[in-house]
Amino acid sequence: MQVTETLNTGLKRQIKVTVPAKDLEAKLVERLSAAKDKVRINGFRPGKVPLQHLRKVYGKSFMAEVVNEILSDSTRSILADRGEKAAMQPEVSMTEDEKEAEKILAGNADFEFSLDYEVLPPIEEKDLSAISITRLVYDVPSEEVEEQVERVADSARSWESKKGKAANGDRVTIDYLGKVDGEAFDGGKDEDAELVLGSNRFIPGFEEQLVGLKAGEEKVITVTFPADYPAANLAGKEATFDIKVKDVAAPADVEINDDLAKTLGLESADKLREIVRGQIESQYGSVTRQKVKRQILDQLDEMYKFDTPERLVEAEFENIWAQVNADLAQAGRTFEDEETTELEARAEYQRLAERRVRLGLVLADIGEKASVQVSDDELQRALFEQIRRIPQSQQQQVYEYYRSNPGALASIRAPLFEEKVVDHLLGVISVADQKVSKDELLADDEAETETKEAKKPAKKATSKAKAADAAERGEAGEGEKKKAAPKKKAAKGDAGE
């Protein structure tokens, strides 16, 4: 086999491979000889089939197998011999001439093909201890825990129907039908909808017009959808709702004590408070972790500057772009609605794709050098957690898909590996804890990041790009995640959500 490098520019490589016809013939004869004692052909005793007859019957199919094995084996061996790692599976180019292909399968011509690929760039070792971040820490006060306990208690509250007028704090059960310009719209109808007046679940002005109604009464109310309402066909529009009140119920008194805790499956009110505190601290801890990770990734992005494989970046961009367009379509919005243009958005997401690829390579390199591993048990737990979120009837099918598809399983392993690399970095870099208020912890750091990155094409496009990056890597707090997620159209039960 003759191997010739025909292109070596930047990260791009092209290798021409020639397998002489005599080598193909030798491999074919070897395969035919191995099959001689196994095949059964009428008119011949087992093991007595002449080689030439075997070749006449199986020659082309066996040669095709030889060619495929050469393609598979040579790709791995060539990269190994050259000490290179391909960024993606090399593209193989062969002759498309049918006559030439027939000659190869007949053993009358050399087999030539080329490999086109990009190598992973060398990553310079950096002094990671030079990274310095501030970890924002919020100490949850007892008052906040108590507020959440009261909400939990409120969710367990019982309601008692009453004959009087509905007041704030009462729960009304209603049927409603929404109309714009006299025509009913999708998502504007519901029956037996329960709404606590004053909860601000529905659009402004909706709940206020139900105050004072009694069970059995009907009313037509008029409201205006907010200008930024997710469903573009309703945003800023005036609508009427035909309301029928079916029940008005007042909240029963509730007391936070051991009896209440027992109705929730807990042994005491203290245990309820302990669990609630743990949940709150975990939620704020996630925000702290996300902001820490963002700082680390931003500094790694500043430290490491190298060419990224174009095919990897393009694949990442296509994933992002598909999600962006799906989000816009679902929200009924356009790039103009986002105060940008498609051209500007493409440029923004192209930069985002390059950042993702570069950081992914950096984290992989750091993790490899630190011997970071994702255990089989960790992978299995993450897989089960992923499957748990889908309908039970589909769980076995999805499980089998992941177990038999290495690429899909890698998508489960990747975020686990990334988080473990971040854990490793937290033991290497300088971390200063800073106690902050809740507002400071939850403050959107977008403005600061935009100032650093500077000169983005449009504020909303930048925000969306950062949000998509954050959602993918788990870097963002809840605010950024919401921006990345598709906005809901008006749907059942969300006339104002």
CATH number at residue 198: 3.10.50.40
The pLDDT value given to residue 469: 44
**Same domain for 180 and 65?**
no
**Same domain for 249 and 271?**
no
**Same domain for 359 and 442?**
yes
**Same domain for 273 and 417?**
yes
Residue 453 has pLDDT above 70, yes or no: no
Q: Is residue 134 in a domain?
A: no
Q: How many Cβ atoms are within 10 Å of 472's Cβ, its own excluded?
A: 17
Give the pLDDT confidence of 83-117 residue by residue, as tens digits. 999 999 999 998 778 888 888 888 889 999 999 99
Which two tokens mark 39?
């095949």
Q: Is residue 329 in a domain?
A: yes
Residue 249 structural domain: 158-253
**Same domain for 248 and 276?**
no
**Which of 55, 88, 118 finishes a domain?**
118
The pLDDT value given to residue 319: 94
Question: Do β-strands 430-435 and 132-137 pair in parallel, antiparallel, or remain unpaired?
Answer: parallel
**Same domain for 103 and 177?**
no
Give the pLDDT confidence of 32-46 residue by residue, as tens digits. 777 776 666 666 666
- Give the bridge partners for 137, in sequence order: 435
**Same domain for 393 and 274?**
yes
Distance (Å, whole) CA 6 – CA 332: 49
**Which of 207, 229, 253 finishes a domain?**
253
Number of domains in the chain: 3
Residue 445 has pLDDT above 70, yes or no: no
Residue 483 has pLDDT above 80, yes or no: no
* Among the ranges given (250-259, 275-284, 421-430), the one the predictor scored with the smallest mean pLDDT: 250-259
Q: Is residue 132 in a domain?
A: no
Q: What is the mean predicted confidence (pLDDT) over 160-174?
A: 93
Q: Is residue 202 in a domain?
A: yes
The pLDDT value given to residue 156: 82
The rounded percent of the chain whose pLDDT value lies above 90 is 61
Residue with the bigger pLDDT between 155 and 368: it is 368
Q: Is residue 126 in a domain?
A: no
Q: What is the mean predicted confidence (pLDDT) over 266-287?
A: 95
Residue 57 has pLDDT above 80, yes or no: no
**Same domain for 220 and 320?**
no
**Which of 118, 144, 172 finishes a domain?**
118
**Same domain for 186 and 112?**
no
* SS3 per-residue string spanning the chain: CEEEEEEEECCEEEEEEEECHHHHHHHHHHHHHHHCCCCCCCCCCCCCCCHHHHHHHHHHHHHHHHHHHHHHHHHHHHHHHHCCCECCCCEEEECCCHHHHHHHHCCCCCEEEEEEEEECCCCCCCCHHHCEEEEEECCCCHHHHHHHHHHHHHHCCCEEECCCCCCCCCEEEEEEEEEECCEEEEEEEEEEEEEECCCCCCCCCCHHHHCCCCCCCEEEEEEECCCCCCCCCCCCCEEEEEEEEEEEEEECCCCCCHHHHHHCCCCCHHHHHHHHHHHHHHHHHHHHHHHHHHHHHHHHHHHCCCCCCHHHHHHHHHHHHHHHHHHHHHHCCCCCCCCCCHHHHHHHHHHHHHHHHHHHHHHHHHHHHCCCCCCHHHHHHHHHHHHHCCCHHHHHHHHHHHHHCHHHHHHHHHHHHHHHHHHHHHCCCEEEEEECCHHHHHCCCHHHHHHHHCCCCCHHHHHHHHHHHHHHHCCCCHHHHHHHCCCCCCCCCCCCC
Residue identified by tokens 């719209």 is 185
**Same domain for 285 and 228?**
no
Q: Is residue 114 in a domain?
A: yes
Residue with the bigger pLDDT between 220 and 497: it is 220
**Same domain for 212 and 318?**
no
Q: What is the mean predicted confidence (pLDDT) over 384-390?
A: 89
Q: Is residue 309 in a domain?
A: yes
Q: How many Cβ atoms are within 10 Å of 460's Cβ, its own excluded?
A: 16
Question: Which CATH number fits the domain that encloses residue 82?
Answer: 3.30.70.1050
Q: Which of 68, 66, 70 has the alpha carbon at shortest distance from 55?
A: 66
Which two tokens mark 100?
């030439």
Q: What is the mean predicted confidence (pLDDT) over 449-464?
A: 36
**Same domain for 237 and 335?**
no
* Cβ proximity of 350 and 316 under 8 Å: no
* Cβ proximity of 219 and 212 under 8 Å: no
Residue with the bigger pLDDT between 71 and 491: it is 71
The mean of the pLDDT values for the chain is 85
The pLDDT value given to residue 46: 64
Q: What is the mean predicted confidence (pLDDT) over 406-416?
A: 90
Q: Is residue 18 in a domain?
A: yes
